[in-house]
A and B are shown apart, each in its own frame.
Chain A
Amino acid sequence: MAKYNPRMIAGAVIGAAIAAGATSLYERYFGASASGSGEDGKEQCYGVAKAGENGCASANGSHTCGGLAKVDFSGQEWKLVEAGTCLKLGGKLEAFDNASAPDPAPAKTPG
């Protein structure tokens, strides 16, 4: 039976990591930079999800599943929006505490 030896396994892991876009490893092992794979054009946006429309999990761990947000526009809830549109929607890219400011009044229309 064919078998991978430890060197082959380590080589496969590093090779796969580099192929998957771990460009820092490429620099470490080969001393030059490689172009990484692009992002998919989405960003996590906090403070713009209406109750029940949030993506999975919340930053403060109050729930783990999609669609469970109880409060509109909570700063602890995020949903996926087109990259670059988060701030236009009145959201932030990091979780924030808006419990003391119940009405963040996000813009109704982007832009």
Chain B
Amino acid sequence: MSPETLPDLQQRFRATVLGNDDAPLSGLVQTSGGSLPARIDVYRNTVQSSLVDVLATAFPVVQRVVGEVYFAGLARRFIVGAPPRLPQLSTYGADFAAYIGAGDIHKQLPYLADVARLEWARGAAYFAADAPLLDPATLGLLAPEDMERKVFSLHPAARLIRSSFPIYRIWQVNQPDVTDVPAVDMSVGEDALISRPRYHVVTRAIARADAAFVAAIAAGGTLASAAAQALEIDETFDLQAALTQHFVNGTFAR
């Protein structure tokens, strides 16, 4: 089978280096300097390993948890099944967490998919559109009776990741500077809030009631209704303390 056109040849090359099948290029590659698989593997390895590097950059904690060798195999299987669709590497890997959650590794490490979601959210926060933060000083202009009806909007970089595993703790103890990883109590669920005040991504664990508060705000709820939902989770929820952290960490946009 000879290619009809240049685009056809390019499609065959793409399918071959992003897949694991040499057939599309069969008969089109000179084999005098080595076998067809060996020659194609040079290109395949370059393309796939650079994409593995892209995923390792976006998911360093996942890589650290499973180890470099396992991660490379996991990433390569993902790459073959879901090659990049946009010419922008920062967008590649959006489906990696779901892939982990649907795979065999999920049975052994059921928290791993949530850790991947957390890491992807951090990258997404870094690349999210810019927007001015809510200036808390402007809230002083509101009449008290308007305060409870106030609807905040989340900053474009803000991401809430809720998990039944201690994902923030797992993420934290797997940072490169932590050499002695302590035991982590896996029975405690955690919610992580990611934001980008002044252009630096901040990752922090927030209380379950606070997460309910943020989720209610994200859904368009008023300050009063969001506070009420938080109080349903925990009647000791401290609205002022939670808001202080949200103002400081840039959870809300102007």
| Cross-interface CB contact of A2 among B136, B224, B235, cutoff 8 Å | B235
Report the Cα distance A20→B240, complex, angstroms.
10
Question: Looking at chain B, what size class is its interface with the partner chain?
Answer: 35 or more
Say yes or no for B244: interface residue by CB 8 A criterion: yes
Report the Cα distance A6→B246, complex, angstroms.
20
A56 contacts B130, CB within 8 Å? Answer: yes
In the complex, what residue of chain B is closest to A18 when comparing beta carbons?
B136
| Residues in chain A near residue B136, CB distance under 8 A | 13, 16-17, 20-22, 25
A57 contacts B129, CB within 8 Å? Answer: yes
| Cross-interface CB contact of B139 among A6, A8, A13, cutoff 8 Å | A13
A-B contact count (CB 8 A): 113
| Cross-interface CB contact of B247 among A3, A9, A16, A29, cutoff 8 Å | A16
Say yes or no for B98: interface residue by CB 8 A criterion: no
| Residues in chain A near residue B248, CB distance under 8 A | 20-21, 37
B243 contacts A12, CB within 8 Å? Answer: yes
In the complex, what residue of chain A is closest to B145 when comparing beta carbons?
A6
In the complex, what residue of chain B is closest to A6 when comparing beta carbons?
B148
Q: How far is the CB of A107 from chain B (nearest CB, A)?
A: 23
Which residues of chain A from 1 to 34 have any CB-CB distance to chain B below 8 Å in the complex? 1-4, 6-17, 19-22, 24-25, 28-29
> Which residues of B does A touch, CB under 8 Å?
90, 126-130, 135-137, 139-140, 142, 144-145, 147-148, 150, 198-200, 223-224, 227-228, 231-232, 235, 239-244, 246-248
B199 contacts A4, CB within 8 Å? Answer: no
| Residues in chain A near residue B142, CB distance under 8 A | 10, 13
B129 contacts A56, CB within 8 Å? Answer: yes
A14 contacts B140, CB within 8 Å? Answer: yes
Known: A12-B239, A20-B247. 6 other contacts (CB 8 A): A9-B144, A11-B240, A12-B243, A17-B243, A28-B140, A66-B127
A6 contacts B144, CB within 8 Å? Answer: yes
A12 contacts B231, CB within 8 Å? Answer: no
Known: A1-B232, A4-B228, A9-B227. A66 touches B90 (CB 8 A): yes
| Residues in chain A near residue B139, CB distance under 8 A | 13-14, 17, 22, 25
B140 contacts A42, CB within 8 Å? Answer: no
Say yes or no for A103: interface residue by CB 8 A criterion: no
| Residues in chain B near residue A20, CB distance under 8 A | 136, 243-244, 247-248
A13 contacts B147, CB within 8 Å? Answer: yes
| Residues in chain B near residue A55, CB distance under 8 A | 199
Report the Cα distance A24→B136, complex, angstroms.
10
| Residues in chain A near residue B200, CB distance under 8 A | 40
| Residues in chain B near residue A65, CB distance under 8 A | 90, 127, 129
Listed from nearest, the 4 A-B pairs whose CB atoms lie closest are A17-B136, A16-B243, A20-B247, A57-B130
B137 contacts A9, CB within 8 Å? Answer: no
A6 contacts B231, CB within 8 Å? Answer: no
